[in-house]
A and B are shown apart, each in its own frame.
Chain A
Amino acid sequence: AQRVTQPEKLLSVFKGAPVELKCNYSYSGSPELFWYVQYSRQRLQLLLRHISRESIKGFTADLNKGETSFHLKKPFAQEEDSAMYYCALSGVSGNQFYFGTGTSLTVIP
């Protein structure tokens, strides 16, 4: 069963424009949601998680339990934001991480 859905494989925005990367999830119970970022040919690294409710590199994400969504947003995209972004879910037991198929973000100068 697809637990994490990222509907956009590719997303291009102009520098300075707002960006939103969509993530929807399916899980009974209370999962923990994350956004990971992978810059070109580097390892995945945590961008942010919903429980910390913080802003990292200008990105924020709000967990909407009613819509089962965890969309990633940034008001003004920068060229260095170009990367692959993965939404991930950790279940109640915490023993598994489920990843979406990823969204490749390109910020056009």
Chain B
Amino acid sequence: NAGVTQTPKFQVLKTGQSMTLQCAQDMNHNSMYWYRQDPGMGLRLIYYSASEGTTDKGEVPNGYNVSRLNKREFSLRLESAAPSQTSVYFCASSDPGTANTEAFFGQGTRLTVV
């Protein structure tokens, strides 16, 4: 029972470098999310995808792009990393409209931009 799997777990980037964070879920959920977690700021929504083929901006989308590749996978891309993007990133998924509307989270990606 893998649930939500994120890769990589840790990453160090230089300013200006690009990278893609991968996320996959095996629960057949329609909705997927990317959050960033910063001290004192809690979890802030970057982007979400309500269904395959759709994506929408959350609270803090600037500097990020996403792709809902298929129902299972939702990737987050940093085109030109900045130190302000140093954070812990969490992917999550849920199945709205069902009895279980809770969000299931991945283990997180700790990203440092130097």
Q: Contact at A96–B48, with CB atoms within 8 Å?
A: yes
Most chain A C-beta atoms within 10 Å of own C-beta, residue among B31, B44, B97, B103: B103
Q: Contact at A99–B43, with CB atoms within 8 Å?
A: yes
Q: Contact at B42–A102, with CB atoms within 8 Å?
A: yes
- Comparing A13-21, A39-47, A58-66, A68-76, the segment that makes contact with chain B is A39-47
Q: Contact at B101–A94, with CB atoms within 8 Å?
A: yes
B102 within 8 A of A: yes
- Nearest residue (CB) in A for B95 is A94
B50 within 8 A of A: yes
Q: Contact at A94–B105, with CB atoms within 8 Å?
A: no
Task: Give the distance in Å from the alpha carbon of A43 to the alpha carbon of B35 in the complex.
Answer: 12
Q: Which residues of A contact B97 (CB under 8 A)?
A: 94
Q: List 30 A-B contacts (CB under 8 A).
A: A34-B102, A36-B103, A42-B107, A43-B105, A43-B106, A43-B108, A44-B90, A44-B92, A45-B105, A49-B102, A86-B43, A88-B103, A90-B96, A90-B103, A93-B50, A94-B101, A95-B48, A95-B50, A95-B96, A96-B45, A96-B48, A97-B33, A97-B92, A97-B94, A99-B35, A99-B42, A99-B45, A100-B42, A101-B40, A102-B42
| List of 10 A-B pairs having minimum Cβ-Cβ separation, nearest first | A94-B96, A101-B42, A99-B43, A95-B50, A44-B105, A43-B105, A102-B42, A43-B107, A46-B102, A97-B103
Query: Interface residues, chain B, CB within 8 Å of chain A?
Result: 31, 33, 35, 40-45, 48, 50, 58, 90, 92, 94, 96-97, 101-103, 105-108
